[in-house]
Chains A and B, each alone.
Chain A
Amino acid sequence: MKSGRNQRIMLRQTMDKSMKNLFFLATMFALLVLGILIYQVVTQGASWLDWQFLSGKLSLNPERAGILGVIVGTVLLMVVVGPVTMILGVCTAIYLEEYAKKSKLRNFIQVNISNLAGVPSVIFGLLGLAVFSRMFNLGSSILAGGLTMSLLVLPIVVVASQEAIRAVPQYLREASYGMGATKWQTVRRVVLPAALPGILTGFILSLSRAIGETAPLVVLGIPVLIMPIPNSLMSDFTALPIQIYYWTLDAVLVQEYANLAAATIIVLLVILFAMNSLAIFIRNKYQKRY
């Protein structure tokens, strides 16, 4: 009887340990894949990543090709996406959290914002093509791409801002209303300042999503040709992910294009890691103090 129980204990302990290892392996799997990707990209692209590559213009000759125009395209794209998503997203979140009464309409909007977040990005590309490119005649300009991209990442900003606003304790609103403040005064002076770190975190994450998205821009018909460096929001443009896409595609013609793509991936990943680190930094620095 007693030895039987001891045996069972050993069995249970073995089981316990192997479950822990199983969970650990599951955790490591994604990290491992990321590690392999980074290793491959770095070994392939690092030697191509020099000042000439970062500051040069696009060229058919891989030895002379540079991605300055591509970086400028991505930056200008963010110049459009940033303000548009920030303003539309935060206003939507304020309306839903502070103004809209609990109603069927509010639930309907809420559910559809979540739905919007799940719509494949290529569909947003088609939407942008129909509305911004064709209807408003913006073609494949930075403005058209930026507006399309804004729609795509808007749900991220809305949901993150809503959560940040909801996390502001009710007693702070009561304090403000109790002193005769209007709703707008309460939102502006109490709710938004307290929710700002959370809103900024969501905002930065949405930008980093927009920087990496490819499909909507492909659908908008960004030209494949060698593009000059864009000089206004109405210029045609190319952006980092789309350049990676085309270089990878054309690697069958010129083998070195694969190396250029790898070098561009390094640039993109560095930008993304930097932005995500900034988001985490802001979140930790302004941890809740109430």
Chain B
Amino acid sequence: MNQAVTEHLQNSAVSEGHEIESKPSVIQTKGLDLWYGDSQALYDINMDVQENQVTAIIGPSGCGKSTYIKTLNRMIELNDSVKTKGEIIYRGRNIFSEYSVEELRTQVGMVFQKPNPLPKSIYENVVYGPRVHGIRKKQVLDEIVERSLRGAAIWDEVKDRLHKDAYGLSGGQQQRLCIARTLAFEPEVILMDEPTSALDPISTAKIEELIQQLKTQYTIVIVTHNMQQAARISDKTAFFLNGKLIEFDQTVKIFSNPNDKRTEDYVSGRFG
């Protein structure tokens, strides 16, 4: 790991310290098992996501990190063969039995790996969520568009071409548009599944900066295969391996002094 990251970790360890522990849990996962057909992908996952924090999930390809984050808003159920056991409690209610998927996904929004704007204008992309939830007044929608695009730090770049095709934007801009689109329906939690893996370094830096700003108002869970990224932007880090949660702790701890040998091997680049 490079010098700058180590310094950042030490600084944040000093500045934030134990205050992190006191934040309330938003999502609690209790004994979650998950199968694709007959093959088990997640084994007995137990972890809490805390309010106004960035929780990073790291691990090698195929470790179940993407599967886990997609389970948090039940997007995983788009796959017919998925079966789950165990509980995920969001705000005191079991997401599998006490929420409809529509209600859950409105409160737990998602940004995907590959920027996926709809083949519509920038404006239409942002108002898609609010429209789906029944907001029709143009004035209200206009306000939502400006607020969301500002919130995703892309307003200045697109304000003159709101009604142009979203596919005319660069990859990085498309991804920030997707974040804006998620902010538009005011979720409480934002899930991000490797949001920068398809982007260049400059776009990646912008998104990381944006995540730091969003954290003050939203709870963020981010899957990343980039360990430096996890170290730079997250408060807590979970390390997944072969469908099991190996270690979950303060990011500082995971990257400087992990408890488990496998975590240490992974973060120091010995495998993965």
Residues in chain A within 8 A of chain B (CB atoms): 101-102, 170-182, 185, 189-190, 193-194, 289-290
Interface centre among A101, A178, A194 (most CB of B within 10 A): A178
The residues in B between 70 and 102 inclusive whose CB is less than 8 angstroms from any CB of A are: 73, 75, 78, 80-81, 101-102
On whether the beta carbons of A289 and B119 are closer than 8 Å, the reply is yes
Whether, in the assembled complex, B243 has its beta carbon less than 8 Å from a beta carbon of chain A, the answer is no
Contact of A182 among B75, B102, B114 (CB under 8 A): B102
Residues in A neighbouring B75, C-beta threshold 8 A: 174, 177-178
Residues in A neighbouring B109, C-beta threshold 8 A: 178-179
Residues in B neighbouring A180, C-beta threshold 8 A: 102-103, 105-106, 129, 132-133, 185
On whether the beta carbons of A173 and B103 are closer than 8 Å, the reply is no
Evaluate whether A173 and B78 lie within 8 angstroms (CB atoms) in the complex, with A178-B112, A180-B133 already known: yes
Residues in chain B within 8 A of chain A (CB atoms): 73, 75, 78, 80-81, 101-103, 105-106, 109-110, 112, 114, 116-119, 128-129, 132-133, 167, 178, 181-182, 185
On whether the beta carbons of A178 and B73 are closer than 8 Å, the reply is yes
A-B pair number, CB within 8 angstroms = 69
Residues in A neighbouring B102, C-beta threshold 8 A: 180-182
On whether the beta carbons of B132 and A171 are closer than 8 Å, the reply is no
Residues in A neighbouring B117, C-beta threshold 8 A: 175
On whether the beta carbons of A178 and B80 are closer than 8 Å, the reply is no
Beyond contacts A175-B118, A177-B101: 16 other A-B pairs, Cβ-Cβ < 8 A, are A102-B81, A171-B112, A174-B112, A174-B116, A175-B116, A175-B117, A175-B178, A178-B109, A178-B112, A178-B182, A181-B102, A181-B128, A181-B132, A182-B132, A289-B167, A290-B119
Residue of A nearest to B133 (CB): A180
CB distance from B157 to the nearest CB of A (A): 20
Residues in A neighbouring B78, C-beta threshold 8 A: 170, 173-174, 177
On whether the beta carbons of B116 and A179 are closer than 8 Å, the reply is no
CB distance from A60 to the nearest CB of B (A): 58
Interface centre among A101, A171, A289 (most CB of B within 10 A): A171
CA distance A178 to B114 in the complex (A): 14
On whether the beta carbons of A172 and B118 are closer than 8 Å, the reply is yes
Residues in A neighbouring B129, C-beta threshold 8 A: 179-181
A-B contact pairs, 9 of them (CB 8 A): A101-B80, A175-B117, A175-B178, A178-B182, A180-B103, A180-B105, A180-B129, A181-B129, A182-B102
Residues in B neighbouring A176, C-beta threshold 8 A: 118, 128, 132
Residues in A neighbouring B103, C-beta threshold 8 A: 180
On whether the beta carbons of B105 and A290 are closer than 8 Å, the reply is no
CA distance A8 to B161 in the complex (A): 66
Residues in B neighbouring A175, C-beta threshold 8 A: 112, 116-118, 128, 178, 181
Evaluate whether A179 and B105 lie within 8 angstroms (CB atoms) in the complex, with A173-B78, A174-B78, A289-B119 already known: yes
Residue of B nearest to A181 (CB): B132
CB distance from B1 to the nearest CB of A (A): 33
On whether the beta carbons of B167 and A179 are closer than 8 Å, the reply is no
On whether the beta carbons of A189 and B116 are closer than 8 Å, the reply is no
CB distance from B150 to the nearest CB of A (A): 19
CB distance from B264 to the nearest CB of A (A): 35
Interface centre among A101, A174, A193 (most CB of B within 10 A): A174
CA distance A190 to B81 in the complex (A): 24
Residues in A neighbouring B128, C-beta threshold 8 A: 175-176, 179, 181, 189
The 3 tightest CB contacts between A and B, nearest first, are A180-B106, A179-B129, A171-B116
Residues in A neighbouring B116, C-beta threshold 8 A: 171-172, 174-175
Residues in A neighbouring B132, C-beta threshold 8 A: 176, 179-182, 185, 189
Evaluate whether A190 and B167 lie within 8 angstroms (CB atoms) in the complex, with A102-B80, A179-B128, A179-B181 already known: no
On whether the beta carbons of B185 and A178 are closer than 8 Å, the reply is no
Interface centre among A101, A176, A177, A180 (most CB of B within 10 A): A180
Residues in A neighbouring B182, C-beta threshold 8 A: 178-179
